[in-house]
């Protein structure tokens, strides 16, 4: 303890204390460096946040180096500040190179701006997602089928970039799929990673379409390596399925103008002998918004009984 105490005492009291303080302020270069440091440490995250921080900190250290060379005339202060300026400059060049190297085709850039950037996804994470689909956008011509009911295997996950897809089952129209929506989110969500299945609906292009497709196995490998991407896709797919459910809900009416509401499960179980059952679109069976619930009848009868 005595040795430690003597070390700290020598460290604190070995140097003479300041008896007189300078009356005049330091030069404008010193104050400019301090302002640059304050503003620089207010930078954010991400590539552009790093560019902001390193550029302002580098200018601050450069001003400090000039101040140490011209006003203080201290070689050690100048050396340290100049070394820190050089480090910031190298980091700025490195981040700039990374930003320029992360470039995408026009469609992928528009997809990032519309879907991923609002969620705060960085370009480096988005690059991993794009590389997983081989940075390829697939074209589907008008009236060509993306999937056929009972025939096409579920082996990928696709996101529509442009165009419109018509979803039918047994020839009956269900709903449309629009840009920035998944083509097969219900099918993806209905299967475990080790399971296989086939489409229970037919997806047909109403216009010339462009979509991005991730192979199932390759995408699950990406999820295993990056849990953040797995959670991201889980949120996107869940939101997409909810949109499809509400699209179906808007189309379904249960007799006398009453609308069947998926948020009111009590209506699902109503069945009265005097009311003929109303056939609904194929959906909501076995957890998929593209299947058909059975035994749904007129809701007006339920309201009179209650």
User: How many CB atoms within 10 Å of residue 128?
Assistant: 13
pTM of the predicted model, to two decimals?
0.59
Cα of 38 vs its chain's centroid, Å: 31
Three-state SS at 167: strand
The tokens of 258 are what? Answer: 């009453």
- For residue 297, CA distances in Å to 248, 263, 281, 292, 294 come to 17, 16, 13, 13, 9
Mean pLDDT across the stretch 19-35?
84
CATH of domain 106-255: 2.60.120.10
* Better pLDDT: 23 or 143: 143
Measured CA to CA, the distance from residue 228 to residue 245 in angstroms comes to: 26
Cα angle 70-71-74, degrees, rounded to a multiple of 5: 80
Q: What is the pLDDT of residue 4?
A: 59
Domain range annotation of the chain: 25-102, 106-255
Write the burial class of residue 67 (CB in 10 Å: 0-12 exposed, 13-18 middle, 19+ buried): buried
pLDDT, tens digit, for every residue of 200-254? 999 999 999 999 999 999 999 999 999 999 999 999 999 999 888 887 776 665 4
Q: What is the mean pLDDT of the chain?
A: 80
Q: What does the pLDDT average to over 57-69?
A: 94
Helix residue spans in the chain (DSSP H): 2-13, 28-40, 46-67, 75-101, 106-111, 123-132, 185-190, 216-225, 227-251, 299-305
- Rounded to 10 degrees, the C-alpha dihedral 278/282/287/293 comes to 20
User: Is 145's pLDDT higher than 90?
Assistant: yes
What pLDDT is attached to residue 258? 54
């Amino acid at each position: 303890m005595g040795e430690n105490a003597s070390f700290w005492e020598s460290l604190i009291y070995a140097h003479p204390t300041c008896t007189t303080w300078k009356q005049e302020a330091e030069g404008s270069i010193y104050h400019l460096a301090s302002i640059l440091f304050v503003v620089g440490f207010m930078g954010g995250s991400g590539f552009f946040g790093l560019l902001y921080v390193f550029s302002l900190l580098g200018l601050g250290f450069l001003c400090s180096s000039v101040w140490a060379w011209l006003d203080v005339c201290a070689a050690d202060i100048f050396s340290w500040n100049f070394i820190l300026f050089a480090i910031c400059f190298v980091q700025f060049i490195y981040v700039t190179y990374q930003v320029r190297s992360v470039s995408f085709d026009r469609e992928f850039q528009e997809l990032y701006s519309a879907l991923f950037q609002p969620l705060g996804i960085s370009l480096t994470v988005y690059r991993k997602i794009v590389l997983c689909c081989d940075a390829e956008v697939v074209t589907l011509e008008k009236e060509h089928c993306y999937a056929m009911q009972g025939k096409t295997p579920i082996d990928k996950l696709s996101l529509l970039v442009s165009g419109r897809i018509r979803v039918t089952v047994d020839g009956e129209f269900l709903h449309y799929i629009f840009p920035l929506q998944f083509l097969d989110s219900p099918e993806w969500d209905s299967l475990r990673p080790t399971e296989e299945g086939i489409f229970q609906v037919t997806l047909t292009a109403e216009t010339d379409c462009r979509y991005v497709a991730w192979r199932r196995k390759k995408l699950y490998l990406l999820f295993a390596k990056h849990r953040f991407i797995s959670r991201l896709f889980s949120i996107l797919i869940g939101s997409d399925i909810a949109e499809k459910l509400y699209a179906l809900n808007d189309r379904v009416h249960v007799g006398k103008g009453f609308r069947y509401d998926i948020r009111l499960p009590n209506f699902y179980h109503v069945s009265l002998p005097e009311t003929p059952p109303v056939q609904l679109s194929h959906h909501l069976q076995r957890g998929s918004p593209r299947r058909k619930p059975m035994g749904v009848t007129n809701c007006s009868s339920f309201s009179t009984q209650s």
